[in-house]
Amino acid sequence: MTDTVTDPMTEPADDAVTTHALENQFGLADRIVDAGAIANSVERFREQGITLPTFAQLADPTTFDHDERVGDADPQGPDARNLWRVHWYNDLSGDRVQVPDHVVLPPELTGVPSPIIVVFGDRFPMITAHKVLAAYSCLAPRIVTGQFDPTVHRAVWPSTGNYARGGIAISKIMASRGVAILPEGMSQERFDWLDTWCANPEEDVIKTYGTESNVKEIYDACNELAKDPGNFILNQFSEFGNHLGHYTVTGRALGHVFEQVRADSGRDLRLAAFTSATGSAGTIAAGDRLKEEYGSKTIAVEALECPTMLENGYGEHNIQGIGDKHIPLIHNVTNTDGIVAISDKSTDELDLVFNSEAGRAHLASKGVPEAIVAQLEHFGFSAICNTLAAIKTSKMLGLGPDDALITVATDGAALYPSERAKLLANRFGGEFTASNAAEAYGEHLANVDTDNMIECTEADRRRIFNLGYYTWVEQQGTPFELFEARRSQDFWKGLRRYVGVWDDMIDEFNDQVAAGS
Residue 331 in 3-state DSSP? coil
- Residue-level pLDDT at 321: 75
Q: Give Cα 480 to chain centroid, integer Å.
A: 26
- For position 249, what pLDDT does the model report? 98
CA–CA separation, 59 and 447 (whole Å): 38
- Tell me the average confidence (pLDDT) per consecutive run of 10 residues in the chain, 517 residues long: 40 60 92 97 97 98 98 97 98 98 98 98 97 97 98 91 91 94 86 91 88 75 92 95 98 98 97 95 97 98 95 89 85 98 96 98 98 98 97 98 98 94 95 97 96 98 97 93 96 98 98 88
Contact 230, 243 (CB under 8 A): no
Q: What's the chain's length in residues?
A: 517
> What residues contact 39, with CB distance under 8 A and at least 6 apart?
none
What pLDDT does residue 213 have? 63
The SS3 assignment for 149 reads coil
Note the pLDDT of residue 84: 98
Single out the residue of 57, 66, 151, 160 nearest to residue 381, CA to CA. Answer: 160
Q: How far apart, in whole angstroms, are the C-alpha atoms of residue 27 and residue 134? A: 13
Q: Residue 32's closest CA among 124, 146, 185, 203?
A: 146
Closest by CA to 102, choosing from 459, 429, 387, is: 387
Would you call 273 helix, strand, or coil by DSSP? strand
Contact 142, 174 (CB under 8 A): no
Give the whole-angstrom CA distance, residue 437 versus residue 442.
Answer: 8
472/187 Cα distance (integer angstroms): 28
Residue 336 makes CB contacts below 8 A (sequence gap 6+) with: 284, 287, 298, 299, 300, 456, 461, 464
- Residue pair 87/133 in contact (Cβ under 8 Å)? The answer is yes
Instruction: Give the distance from CA 273 to its chain's centroid.
Output: 18
DSSP assignment letter at 290: H
How far is Cα 211 from Cα 215, in angstroms, rounded to an integer?
9
The three-state secondary structure class of 94 is: coil
- Cα separation, 19 vs 332, in Å, equals 21
pLDDT at 308: 94
Cβ proximity of 335 and 489 under 8 Å: yes
β-pair type (297-303, 338-342): parallel
All structural domains of the chain: 102-124+254-468 (3.40.50.1100)
Distance (Å) of CA 25 to CA 82, 142, 501:
28, 11, 19
DSSP state for residue 295 in the 8-state scheme = -
Q: 365: how many CB neighbours lie within 10 A of its CB?
A: 12
